[in-house]
Amino acid sequence: MKPREQAGQSLATGAAGTALLHIERALAGTADWATADVWVRRASEVIDTADHAGLFYGVPAVAFVLHAGGIRYRSVAAKLDEYVLRLAHRRLAAATARMDRGEGATFREYDLLYGLTGIGALLLRRMPSNDMLADIFRYLIRLTQPRRDMPGWWVEHDPDPILPTPGGHANLGIAHGAAGLLALLALAARDGHVVGGQREAIERLADWFDRWRQPSPHGSWWPQWVTRDELRTGRTVQPGPGRPSWCYGAVGIARACQLAAIATDDLARRRAAEEAMVGCLDARQLRRLSEPGLCHGLAGVYQTAYRASQDALSPEIAARLPMLVAEHASGDEFLSGEAGVRLAMETAHRGTPPLSGWDACLLIS
């Protein structure tokens, strides 16, 4: 497939992500639908239905965008649902076969961006009563169970080519790791979509985050991942908190833990998660951020903290939101560029949840 054809249907870097911005503005009445239509057409010129497609690329990504537009794109969106279900069936069959063989997982199999967690997030939004979603939950529940004294979501590959983890690692982040699993299972349970073993899986994951929570004078934090040696010793070698980003940082993890605590009615864990979120919003922590985007920057922190503030027991998170408003970004991308920043600013300026529900793709709502 040509690069231009790939770009349109990418939620992370292509027209699909930009379309979300114009859909949100059209729903709010601050822009016309004609502009949204242009970007939706660009996103859906070519739609990849192959097995590498996921929430941030291909048919699930385009389906997510169309469903965000509500009634305007409903008939077109409905036509994609069957393709999404077929893809989910194939992906789930392959993942189950891999588990049965006793082999290790990969990000691409289970994560939010391109794996079954992301497809599950789409189905939870679009088809919450579908049997396929229940089957994905059962897969994720199995993924939370230990495999040879390691977490079931353990991967043998590195988190990044320049950050080797000999022997593999267990990722903690919301984009590629345990926080994504926890957030999806908790969001579903909160809305009453529960299968056997789901609450136990939420508890297992919550215990994992309790185990790896690290104290600091400015609030709790978690390592980005756990290596084989760290798993053996029970101690992280990460010397201190990293940037408090949505994708790998404590902001995304704290929101996942808050959702889990709400789903299981655990008041102590809920308070601990919200205290961790407040710590992330400390000025000293925010200085670790070097960009404005959703994935690694202030926009992602803002949108995640905003969603957490809507559920919070105290007003502390909400009180810190004004300092997070980002002024600008370069580029048009959703995850790292201007489209994502401007979507977060729509939330900031209106002070209300997104009308399109666009941030469901971040598993924070």
Q: How far apart are CA 111 and CA 119, in angstroms?
A: 9
Query: Quick one: three-class SS letters along 88-107?
Result: HHHHHHHHHHHHHCCCCECH
Average pLDDT over residues 11-18: 95
Q: Which residues are annotated as a binding site?
A: 247, 295-296
% of the chain surpassing 70 pLDDT: 96
Per-residue pLDDT, averaged over 257-267, amounts to 98
Report residue 191: phi and psi, to 5°.
Answer: -95, 5
Q: Specify whether the CB–CB gap between 300 and 362 falls below 8 A.
A: yes
pLDDT digits (tens, 9 = 90+) for 27-61: 999 999 999 999 999 999 999 999 999 999 999 99
Task: Give the per-residue pLDDT at 331.
Answer: 61
- How far is residue 72's CA from residue 325's CA, in Å, rounded to a whole number? 31
Report the mean per-residue pLDDT for the chain. Answer: 94
pLDDT at 119 over 70: yes
- Greater confidence (159 vs 133) lies with 133
Provide the annotated binding site for Zn(2+): 247, 295-296
pTM of the predicted structure, to 2 decimals: 0.96
Top CATH class of 3-362 equals mainly alpha
Position 292: which residue type?
A: P
Q: Write 259-262 long-range contacts (CB < 8 A, 24+).
A: 259/182, 259/183, 259/186, 259/187, 259/190, 259/311, 260/182, 260/183, 260/185, 260/186, 260/202, 260/205, 260/206, 261/206, 262/186, 262/190, 262/311
Q: Which of 6-10, 201-205, 290-294 has the lowest mean pLDDT?
A: 6-10
Q: Between 204 and 216, whose confidence is greater?
A: 204
pLDDT category, 218, cuts 50, 70, 90?
confident
Q: What string of H, E and C letters represents the secondary structure of 43-90?
A: HCCCCCCCCCCECCECHHHHHHHHHHCHHHHHHHHHHHHHHHHHHHHH
Q: What angle do helix axes 267-280 and 298-311 make, rounded to 10 degrees?
A: 150
* pLDDT tens track for 288-330: 888 899 999 999 999 999 999 999 999 999 999 998 874 445 5
